[in-house]
Each structure stands twice: as structure tokens, then as C-alpha cells.
Amino acid sequence: MTKRRVAILISGRGSNMAALIQAARAPNFPAEIVLVMSNIAGAGGLESARAAGIEAVTVESKPFGKDREAFERAMQDELLKRNIDLVCLAGFLRLLTPWFVQQWDGRMINIHPALLPSYRGLHTHERALADGVKIHGATVHFVIPDVDAGPIIVQGAVTVHDNDTPDSLGARVLQIEHRIYPQALRMVASGQISIDGGICKNTVTTATEKTLISPAS
């Protein structure tokens, strides 16, 4: 089995990065994490990646100022040098230009802490609680120029408790993120996902008929 070469882009501690690295250690996982790259020097996830034996580099965004594409071209050079096949965004706190997104069309995925298309953007847990939703969660999706709007690969849900705070709800959602991001990468890297009319189709298996009802009667 030829494993797909994966780069993870981070800006902070990289908890989802760690989940991907752990999953990719399995011999039958169809991808290998070969690079972790941060736009912030000293990001916590860089040292964690090195401790796991993975190359970690920094391409700082700050020196490029408002020239976003120049920064992304510097990142692209690093990715091309290492023959990267797939890119995973894991807490990468930069809006990407259409130019960069196009370079990785169908090959770059992101995780978002909400059940898209609801709650695109920031402060998802606060907004979910303010709306009184009973089910919340996380989504892994392909990246397109529109923020948090790409084809959905995998979603995971949690129940919302009456006494939840943004922190307590976010902690449960993060646990779901760590489960579904490796699953999504496995599906994409193995060729299990096709995109038809902007919608992801699973070419191998179908979803189980489990349901999640909240609150339970």
C-alpha cells in the first residue's frame, strides 16, 4: 500500500494534529504524516511533532504583512519540496486565498467545531448555546474559497446539557473532533470519498441507522 504524504498546518498546540499523528501510526492507515508546519514560531504543536519524529517547520506569516499570497507561496514551496499529497488544517488561524485553495483543490481538509452548515466562523459554542440547540458537534470538510463551506466528509454530534458553558460544551466537541478527523483523513487518503455536485459520497460503506435524540425522554 502506497501511503499518501500528509502535511498538517497549525498555529497553536495542535490537539487535532496529535490525534492525526496517533492514528497514522497504525500500519494499515493509508496516509503518513511527514510534515507539520506553523505560521507562528514557537507554536506548541511544533515541539510535539518533533517529539513524535515528524519534521516540523515554521513559515512565519507576520513578516509578509498583508501580502497573504506571498506568505502562501512560501508555504507552497515547502509543501512541494516534500511531495505532499494532502493537507490537513488543524487550528491554522489564517484565512487562505483562493490561489492557495485552488492549488489543493480536493486535497485539503479542515475541521470545524460545529455541525455545518450551521455556525460557520468563530465562537461556535457560544452561539449554539445562545440559540438553545440540543445537539452540537464537529465537521470535517474539504476546503474551498468560501470559509467553512466545502463539501462535508464526516460529522460527529454531542448532546447539549442545560448547564453547559462554552468551555464544557467545547471540551466534549473536542473529543469528537479527535475521533472524526482521523476517520476523515483515512477515507480521503484511501480514495473512499468522491465529490458529486459539491456533495461528498462514500464509495465503500453507508452510515449506520443510529440516532441521537436530545434531550432523551
Q: Report the pLDDT value the prediction gives residue 1, as an integer from 0 to 100.
A: 77
* Strand bridging mode 108-112 / 86-89: parallel
Q: Report the pLDDT value the prediction gives residue 205, as an integer from 0 to 100.
A: 67
- The residues spanned by each domain of the chain are 1-104, 112-203
Here the cell at position 44 is 506548541
Here the cell at position 216 is 432523551
Q: What is the pLDDT of residues 109-168, one digit of tens each?
A: 999 999 999 999 999 999 999 999 999 999 999 999 999 999 999 999 999 999 999 999
Residue owning grid cell 473512499: 192
Q: What is the pLDDT of residues 27-77, one digit of tens each?
A: 999 999 999 999 999 999 999 999 999 999 999 999 999 999 999 999 999
Annotated binding residues for (6R)-10-formyltetrahydrofolate, as ranges? Answer: 68, 93-96, 110
pTM, full prediction: 0.96
CA angle 55, 80, 111 (to 5 degrees): 70
Residues labelled as active-site residues: 112
Amino acid at 195: I
Amino acid at 41: A
Q: Report the pLDDT value the prediction gives residue 217, as an integer from 0 to 100.
A: 72
In whole angstroms, give the CA distance from residue 209 to residue 188: 22
- CATH topology agreement for domains 1-104 and 112-203: yes
Nearest to 174, CA basis, from 13, 31, 56, 3: 13
* Strand bridging mode 152-159 / 31-38: unpaired
Amino acid at 159: T
In whole angstroms, give the CA distance from residue 184 to residue 205: 13
CB atoms closer than 10 angstroms to residue 91: 19
* CATH number for region 112-203: 3.40.50.170
Homologous superfamily of the 1-104 domain (CATH)? Formyl transferase, N-terminal domain (3.40.50.170)
HEC readout, 113-170? CCCCCCCCCCCHHHHHHHHCCCEEEEEEEECCCCCCCCCEEEEEEEECCCCCCHHHHH
CA angle 64, 107, 158 (to 5 degrees): 95
Annotated binding residues, as ranges? Answer: 14-16, 68, 93-96, 110
